[in-house]
Structure 1
Amino acid sequence: MQNVSCKLVISVTLFFSFLAIGPFAHAQNSSGKEVIVVYKNKAGKETVLDSDAEVEQQYKHLPAVAVTADQETVKELKQDPDILYVENNVSFTAAGSTDFKVLTDDTEDTENFEQWNLEPIQVKQAWKAGLTGKGVKIAVIDSGISPHEDLSIAGGFSAASYTSSYKDDNGHGTHVAGIIGAKHNGYGINGIAPEAQIYAVKALDQNGSGDLQSLLQGIDWSITHGMDIVNMSLGTTSDSQILHNAVDKAYEQGILLVAASGNDGNGKPVNYPAAYSSVVAVSATNEKNQLAGFSTTGDEVEFSAPGTNITSTYLHQYYATGSGTSQATPHAAAMFALLLQRNPAETNVQLRAEMKKNIIDLGTTGRDQHFGYGMIQYKAQKADSAYAEAEQAVKKAEQTKTQTDIDKARKLVSQLPNSNAKTALQKRLDKVQSFRNVKDAKDKVVKAQKYKTQQTVDTAQAAINKLPNGTDKKNLQKRLNQVKRYIASKQAKEKVAKAEKSKKKTDVNSAQSAVSKLPAGSEKTSLQKRLAKVKSTNLKTAKQSVSAAEKKSTHANAAKAQSAVNQLQSGKDKTSLQKRLDKVKKKAAAAEVKKVETAKAKVKKAEKAKTKKAKTSAQSAVNQLQKSNEKTKLQKRLNAVKPKK
């Protein structure tokens, strides 16, 4: 975008005066008049639809149908018992001044316009607290919104009869929208609620004029699409029962409606729909916090806001300065959005009460006809001081980069209400934490390189795992992997040496596991050869032991051979030796049975002969037996034998 300046180059005169009650001019034709028919029940609706009237609009949330009908049909509808009443399709106009001063960019080099209106309402304090209107849906029922680099339009709808586009062809709606939500992008202007979701509801035409039918359609659309706030910088001097019912219905659905009090001057009645109790009526103040000369006043005025010489967005990517309660109203609507973001659970009723705490009382003390409860002015709350404390903690964490300060800042940030500013603080903390994590990982890798213990390696690996994929993580992992290889090599060497010394199967298995983890190379090959030699030695020992047991099938030899076989790894050699050993065990068992029988016979002979020679012979036979219950019993019997003298 080119640089913009405040030099006045064009003055565009727009017809925004209020029209008297009566049908809207462009809708008139010789065959009938436009009316709004309000029905009592389903039968009444069917009566309207089945009549000779031409249906212009049906409403989803309102018991009404907009039609064009001749006098006779209108008369019949009025007399129908199922019809509540019939109203003329009255006109509305934008509540702005008689002209906009359009600004262009041909001489000055500044990129920002001065906005005197922001200082009196102290909105910058709200921004510092992270309040931007994020998550709040605002319908701007106006002349539409024109595409602009300083605006984001969330969506919209056209209730105007001549176009389906909600694009602004007048400028008024775009001006209103900029006051609410112009981006904070470093150029142009700053909207009061830059992150609010703004919806363009086009109900006014290229002349800034519209009618009741279109306004009702805009309100109906706002209910259907769940708007939080509706801004209506428009009005008429004509009361309307169906309009009254429509705004009441929207209010019952939780929508907060804000409207311009009018530009007819002090002492003139507040315009509709602002005059209805379900709508917040806004009057305009000037640069001196005085009532603007054009502002309509009355008991219905609830709040006031800056409304003179307000610079905002305009058609064709331009900016313009305008005055009117049209400009004051979006100030209030945007401030309501900030309050709703601060307290998202509050209802529209509660928000109106909350706004009373965010004003400066002007004029007569208390509520008055000029300023209502007062001019809107953001008041900092505890949440604001909490944000300031959290921001300071984040700054300290950014300076010290210590984990203690990071944790303290994160705790304070977590206690803030959800907002864009909170998210921004969290992102800053995440950046500091990322730096801290990298530093911690580097420190732990250095420690692992120095001490080369499994504990230091595990600690370093855990720190590396926290890092996002990238160069830092990749390089640190390489360094740690070198330490891991050193430790693995050292452990494998130690375990192979232990296996060589003990030749136990458990040690051999442990050594084999350690060697298997090593990367292929000469070191692994060498250790594997040493380990294979241990396995070979164990096999040789087992073979020798089994052969010895086969030659002399004693229990002792069998046990020794079994111990040697147990040290072997599973395989054909072990299976073959075990089979041979099992035969030895069987032979030894048979021999043991024979020894037991011999011992029994000799003990029995000693018990009978009771001679020293017989007892000695029996004792020799019992001694040759393996430990068992049978040996114990025989020994007891033998102990009981008392040789004759």
Structure 2
Amino acid sequence: MCIVCQVRWMVQQRELRRPKREGGVLRHAPRQSSAPAFPDPLFKEQWYLNGGAADGLDMNVGYAWRKGYTGKGIVITILDDGIQPNHPDLAQNYDPAASTDINGNDTDPTPQDNGDNKHGTRCAGEVAAVAYNRYCGVGIAYNASIGGVRMLDGLVNDAVEAQALSFNPHHIDIYSASWGPEDDGKTVDGPGPLARRAFINGVTNGRGGKGSIFIWASGNGGRHTDSCNCDGYANSIFTISISSATQGGYKPWYLEECSSTLASTYSSGTPGKDKSVATVDMDVQLRPDHICTVDHTGTSASAPLAAGMCALALEANSHLTWRDMQHLIVMTSRSQPLEKEEGWIVNG
């Protein structure tokens, strides 16, 4: 019997370059922030949550918090270089069922401690850092379950991406990804056949048929006049593509302009003028002065903020489908915080 004759499809896997994106439209909020006062030491540095942006604006999540929505019961995973499960500001919310290590072929998503693999941990802290403790700041969905898939800390190919995108889709509600093709202004790339199938399977069968929610950073190629329309992940109908705005209410220098962007959240701007994002940091030795940072940057920092807000919405209404979430973002986003920028129009 010929075993090869039973193979229905095959393709040679090739290594892919998938840089991390370090460096909705924002809701209008009153000058006095609606956010509760948290004792967490870095909350005062989380200007995008406490009314510290231009004109006293922020991401307006304080109203959701005051209604009791904190992400409880919602599961988010960070597709990245892994996360640090025992970080004191993440451990209480860490979910092993939302975590795996594709690069190392085991279940522990802890990154290699080589100084470069802190990206996923930082993103996780924006989403679900524990509130009311003595570590760092607070996550937007600070009672959500958070996991990490270690898939950028080694060889990346179509099969690796597909495995990450399709990991435990009946348990995980939201996948947050802050990476993609090279932002060099000359690369046109996107998901391969296996990853495309994973997206389709996720929105069709994930969350019990309501559809997995894929949040994607739109890219940091502004200095190269890169377009996120040439990024097949941000440009996919299955993803929610998130861009950035600065503390001052302007487009940041790294921003890519394209029609696939669904909304923007705050992030870093001009160094020395605009603040960056405060979150947890990876340090396997858990040194007190190394476990937090105020320097998370780029659209990498914007996408997890959107993932946290989607978690609050899902807690409020768990019946939302993946299309409902896109519709909700479009209908509730406002342009006021970015109206210093010209060129706003209302389309069809």
Q: Does structure 1 residue 275 correspond to structure 2 residue 206?
A: no
Query: Residue 95 of structure 2 aligns to a residue in which SS?
Result: strand
Distance 2:196 2:19 in 1: 17
Output the amino acid matched with 1:165.
D
C-alpha distance 124-160 of structure 1, shift in aligned 2 (>3 A): same
The change in CA–CA distance for 1:219 and 1:164 in structure 2 (over 3 A counts) is same
Q: Aligned to 1:129, which of 35, 42, 67? A: 67
Q: What's the counterpart of residue 204 of structure 1?
A: 152
Q: Which amino acid aligns with 1:131?
A: Y
Deviation at 1:87, TM superposition (A): 5.5
* Aligned mates of 1:165, 1:116 — CA distance in 2: 33
* 2:48 corresponds to 1:117: yes
Q: 1:183 to 1:221 in 2, by over 3 A?
A: same
Deviation (angstroms), 1:189: 0.4
Secondary structure of the corresponding residue to residue 234 of structure 1: coil
* Shift, 1:44, TM fit: 7.8
1:91 equivalenced with 2:17 (yes/no): yes
* Cα pair distance change 1:203/1:325, threshold 3 Å: same
Asked if the contact 1:263/1:324 (under 8 Å) is kept, the reply is yes
1:333 and 1:241, CA in 2 relative to 1: closer, same or farther beyond 3 A? same
- The counterpart of 2:282, out of the listed 298, 302, 315, is 315
The equivalent residue for 2:222 is 265
The alpha carbon displacement at 1:214 in A equals 2.1
CA contact (8 A) 1:243 1:273 kept: no
CA shift digits 1:538-584 (9 cap, x unpaired): xxxxxxxxxxxxxxxxxxxxxxxxxxxxxxxxxxxxxxxxxxxxxxx
- 1:334 matched to which residue of 2? 308
Contact 1:150 1:185 (C-alpha < 8 Å) held by counterparts: no
The alpha carbon displacement at 1:84 in A equals: 6.9
Cα 1:366–1:307 change in 2 (3 A) is farther
1:238 to 170, 182, 189: 189
Q: 1-side partners of 2:157 and 2:130: how far apart?
A: 31
Secondary structure of 2:100's counterpart equals strand
Cα separation, 2, equivalents of 1:307 and 1:96: 10
Pairing partner for 2:87 from 145, 148, 152: 148
Does the aligned pair in 1 maintain the 2:76–2:175 contact within 8 Å? Answer: yes
Tell me the equivalent position of 1:138: 76
CA deviations 1:213-262 (Å, max 9, x no partner) are: 32211112142x43111101111152233322321221222101011111
Letter in 2 for 1:339: A
Q: Displacement, 1:140?
A: 0.9
TM superposition shift of 1:286: 0.7
The one-letter code of the counterpart of 2:21 is A
**Conserved? CA contact 2:20–2:180, under 8 Å:** yes
User: 2:165 maps to what in 1?
Assistant: 219
Say if 2:167 is the partner of 1:193: no
Give the drift of 1:89: 3.8
| Alpha carbons 1:157, 1:166 under 8 Å: kept | yes
Deviation, structure 1 residue 350: 0.8
Structure 2 alignment gaps of length 5 or more = 24-39, 52-57, 182-187, 206-210, 269-275
Mapped to 2, the partners of 1:183 and 1:193 lie a distance apart of 9
Q: Does 1:295 align with 2:260?
A: no
Alpha-carbon shift at residue 212 of structure 1 (Å): 3.1
Instruction: Measure, in 2, the Cα distance between the counterparts of 1:180 and 1:255.
Output: 17
Task: Name the residue aligned to 2:55.
Answer: none
Q: CA offset at residue 337 of structure 1? A: 0.7
Give distance in 2, aligned partners of 1:217 and 1:177. Answer: 20
Task: Please give the root-mean-square deviation of Cα atoms over the aligned residues, in Å.
Answer: 2.4
1:138 maps to amino acid? I
SS in 1 for 2:18: strand
Q: Distance in 2 between matches of 1:183 and 1:173?
A: 16
Q: CA contact under 8 A between 1:159 and 1:215: conserved in structure 2?
A: no
CA deviation after TM superposition for structure 1 residue 331, in Å: 0.8
Query: Amino acid of the residue matched to residue 261 of structure 2?
Result: V
**Contact in 2 for aligned 1:141/1:215 (Cα 8 Å):** no
Partner Cα distance (2:173, 2:165) in 1: 12
Between the aligned partners of 1:186 and 1:162, the Cα distance in structure 2 is 34
Checking the alignment, whether the CA contact within 8 Å between 1:282 and 1:332 is kept in structure 2 is yes
Equivalent position to 2:127, from 180, 187, 192: 180
Identify which of 313, 333, 343 aligns with 1:359.
333
**2:210 aligned with 1:256, yes or no?**
no
- The offset of 1:192, in angstroms, is 0.3
* TM-score, with length taken from structure 2: 0.73
Counterpart of 2:102 (choices 159, 164, 168) is: 159
Secondary structure at the counterpart of residue 148 of structure 2: strand
Distance across 1 between alignment mates of 2:176 and 2:5 = 30
Q: By how many angstroms is 1:93 displaced? A: 2.1
* Length, aligned pairs only: 277
Aligned pair 1:228/2:173, yes or no?
Answer: yes
CA distance in 1, matches of 2:235, 2:178: 13
Give the Cα separation in 2 of the matches to 1:89 and 1:45. Answer: 27
- Answer whether contact 2:100 2:107 (CA < 8 A) is retained: yes
